[in-house]
């Protein structure tokens, strides 16, 4: 099975982002991908944190959800739609929602980001809890290669989230890591999650300087269950694609049955 991570440098104009996402998803399909993942905030990286609230959709209906459904049908490819803003019970906050669609355009999973990023470093400051309602449910779904687990960006720092999914064949992580934190921690955390869960990790990132001046780290990548980086795109928009080999994963789990050796559960 071939999978692809879409890397974008999303703008404050959703229409332009839709066009870019469409083009890059077509490229992923042309490269033979059966599943593609868009990054966090692929549809809008606003000039202000509150900008995304204006584009929040009711669950099940809206321009962004319809786009994901239709492009999955058009390309006959499973799509994990990074994150889009969905309405919450609080008009000042949205759910940062990751939606998965099968190749027929049917929604098969929804994950609302659980861990909300907070960071202060001089003039660089982020507080997602001001505009995002945290989710509560751990989400995974079955696929032809086994269970696929969903996380978003800051979730990467919380290994217990992924442990509570049970054994997965693939962990998918759409993200918009800042340049500061990404440079320090992105790769090592991704490789750690792959190694400790003995599964593939597919990370789809924002990677460049946005309208607001914010710079994201990029480095979308696919990592194998031994922690090896199979493919990576450092910066700028593009597609990272590669094949998953479930037999390789099973061999690693047989040779080093660490998952069976666990003595404590979350």
Q: What 3-state DSSP class applies to 162?
A: helix
Q: What is the CATH number of the domain that holds 79?
A: 3.60.110.10
Q: What is the pTM of this model?
A: 0.96
User: Residue 68 has which token pair?
Assistant: 């994901």
The total of other beta-carbon atoms located within 10 Å of residue 104's CB is 11
DSSP string computed for 94-126:
EEEEEEEE-TTS-EEEEEE--SPPEEEETTEEE
- pLDDT, position 122: 79
Percent of the chain with pLDDT over 90: 95
Return the residue matching tokens 């994901």: 68
In terms of Cα–Cα distance, which of 219, 204, 176, 238 is closest to 44? Answer: 176
Q: State how far the Cα of 41 lies from the Cα of 57, in Å rounded to an integer.
A: 14
- pLDDT tens-digit profile of 153-190? 999 999 999 999 999 999 999 999 999 999 999 999 99
- Is 12 a member of any domain? yes
Torsion of CA 144, 145, 150, 156, to 10 degrees: -170
Phi-psi region of 149 (alpha: psi -120 to 50; beta: other; left: phi over 0): beta
- Is 266 a member of any domain? no
- pLDDT tens-digit profile of 25-68? 999 999 999 999 999 999 999 999 999 999 999 999 999 999 99
User: Residue 197 has which token pair?
Assistant: 């869960």
Q: State how far the Cα of 264 lies from the Cα of 266, in Å rounded to an integer.
A: 7
User: Residue 150 has which token pair?
Assistant: 């969903």
Task: Provide the domain count of the chain.
Answer: 1
- Is 156 a member of any domain? yes
Residues forming the active site: 40, 113, 153
- Is 265 a member of any domain? no
The total of other beta-carbon atoms located within 10 Å of residue 238's CB is 18
Element (H, E) at 161: helix 159-163
- pLDDT tens-digit profile of 85-135? 999 999 999 999 999 999 999 999 999 999 999 988 877 788 999 999 999
Q: How confident is the model at residue 266 (pLDDT cuts 50, 70, 90)?
A: low
- pLDDT tens-digit profile of 203-259? 999 999 999 999 999 999 999 999 999 999 999 999 999 999 999 999 999 999 999
**Domain interval for residue 70:** 2-255
- Is 135 a member of any domain? yes
Decide if 162 contacts 198 (C-beta within 8 A). Answer: no
- Is 32 a member of any domain? yes
Percent of the chain with pLDDT over 70: 100
In terms of Cα–Cα distance, which of 13, 36, 39, 63 is closest to 235? Answer: 39
């Amino acid at each position: 099975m071939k999978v692809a991570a879409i890397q974008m440098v999303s703008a404050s104009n959703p229409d332009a982002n839709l066009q870019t996402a469409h083009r890059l998803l077509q490229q992923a399909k042309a490269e033979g991908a059966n599943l593609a993942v868009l990054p966090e905030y692929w549809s809008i990286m606003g000039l202000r944190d509150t900008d995304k609230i204006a584009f929040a959709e009711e669950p099940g209906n809206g321009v962004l959800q319809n786009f994901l459904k239709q492009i999955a049908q058009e390309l006959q490819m499973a799509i994990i739609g990074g994150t889009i803003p969905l309405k919450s019970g609080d008009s000042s906050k949205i759910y940062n929602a990751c939606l998965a669609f099968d190749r027929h355009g049917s929604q098969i999973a929804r994950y609302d980001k659980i861990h909300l990023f907070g960071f202060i470093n001089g003039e660089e400051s982020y507080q997602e809890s001001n505009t995002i309602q945290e989710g509560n449910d751990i989400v995974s779904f079955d696929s032809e290669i086994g269970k696929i687990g969903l996380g978003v960006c800051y979730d990467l720092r919380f290994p217990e989230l992924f442990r509570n999914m049970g054994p997965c064949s693939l962990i998918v992580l759409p993200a918009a890591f800042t340049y500061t934190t990404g440079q320090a921690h992105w790769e090592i955390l991704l490789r750690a999650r792959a190694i400790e869960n003995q599964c593939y990790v597919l990370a789809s990132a924002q990677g460049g300087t946005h309208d607001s001046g914010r710079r994201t780290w990029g480095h979308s990548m696919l990592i194998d269950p031994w922690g090896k980086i199979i493919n990576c795109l450092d910066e700028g928009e593009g597609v990272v694609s590669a094949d998953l080999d479930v037999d390789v994963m099973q061999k690693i789990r047989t040779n080093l049955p660490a998952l069976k050796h666990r003595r404590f559960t979350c």
